[in-house]
Amino acid sequence: MIFCFSATGNSLYAAQRIGDATNDRIVSIGRALRNEEFEYDITNDEYLGFVLPTYAWTLPGAAAAFIERLILKGFSGQYVYGVFTCGESTGSEPAALFTMLRSKGIPLSATYDVVMPDNFIVWSEVPPPRKIEQMLNDAKTHLDGITASIIRKTPRKPDTAPPKDLYMKMEEVSTKSGTSKLHADGKCNSCGLCAEACPMRCIRLDASGRPYWEGSCTMCFACLHRCPANAVQYGNETQNKGRYINPEVDLNRF
């Protein structure tokens, strides 16, 4: 079984490539959070994987919230691995996953990282198309090697040093009180896709179908990148910037 958190498709792409080779089911952490599904039976699973993006050099808050509530039945020494997609570096994320799983009595057998296009456009720009293509080609080759290592159940001692931050903390947002930088501009067509995509259910729709933000936000930017009208913005930091969705996956049901 593979637990995967993916806002714009990079981690889903990695999980699908691994899952196709290991014949493992992929569980969407975002969907599990939305539906409050935290109990899973892995009795018949040979591998237990966590495929996650890197947020501020550690775990996404949403992934940590899921792992904290995760209940596994049938754990009996499966090969447990973490695969982290990142823009440059995973930082202390392997140590954070090790720490969280250890608290649940689950030993982490190995961790791997793979560089892919960065979607946190508050700090950066989406790479140009040719750069994205090259990065994804390189990632594909790297993932083939990772998958082979997982199938062999290669032990790779994870970083066990106490992480500075166990996860990237949630940001409390409120459109009503004016504390949310996330908003929809005039291009919004009230499709509601942003609310459907939000793993934390912090996007709601008003009477006219326009979104507003209230609650704990994990800053995944699924709402921003997956908006078909490019209407979702984060303050002024994302105006006139490109959007990114991994072209190899279908996020509609994830």
- pLDDT-derived band at 216, boundaries 50, 70, 90: very high
Tell me 76's DSSP state: S
- pLDDT-derived band at 95, boundaries 50, 70, 90: very high
| CA distance linking residue 251 with residue 28, whole number of Å | 10
| CA distance linking residue 55 with residue 170, whole number of Å | 11
| CA distance linking residue 56 with residue 54, whole number of Å | 6
pLDDT digits (tens, 9 = 90+) for 179-188: 999 999 999 9
CATH assignment of the domain containing 40: 3.40.50.360
137 and 19 share a domain?
yes
Q: Is residue 165 part of a domain?
A: no
Q: Are 46 and 22 in contact (CB under 8 A)?
A: yes
Q: Is residue 22 part of a domain?
A: yes
142 and 16 share a domain?
yes
Q: Compute φ and ψ for 240, nearest 5 degrees.
A: 60, 20
Provide the domain limits for residue 222.
Answer: 171-234
**Average pLDDT value for residue range 95-102:** 96
Please state, for a pLDDT cut of 70, what percent of the chain lies above it.
100
DSSP run (H or E) holding 106:
none
CATH assignment of the domain containing 197: 3.30.70.20
Q: Is residue 79 part of a domain?
A: yes
Task: Round to the nearest angstrom and report the end-to-end CA distance of the chain.
Answer: 16
Tell me 252's DSSP state: T
38 and 88 share a domain?
yes
| CA distance linking residue 169 with residue 56, whole number of Å | 10
Q: Is residue 9 part of a domain?
A: yes
- The structure tokens listed for 151 are 């199938």
- The pLDDT score that the predictor gives to residue 254 is 84
184 and 139 share a domain?
no
**Average pLDDT value for residue range 112-127:** 94
10 and 130 share a domain?
yes
Number of domains in the chain: 2
- The pLDDT score that the predictor gives to residue 104 is 94
Residue 162 confidence (pLDDT) above 90 = no
162 C-beta neighbours (distance < 10 Å), count? 11
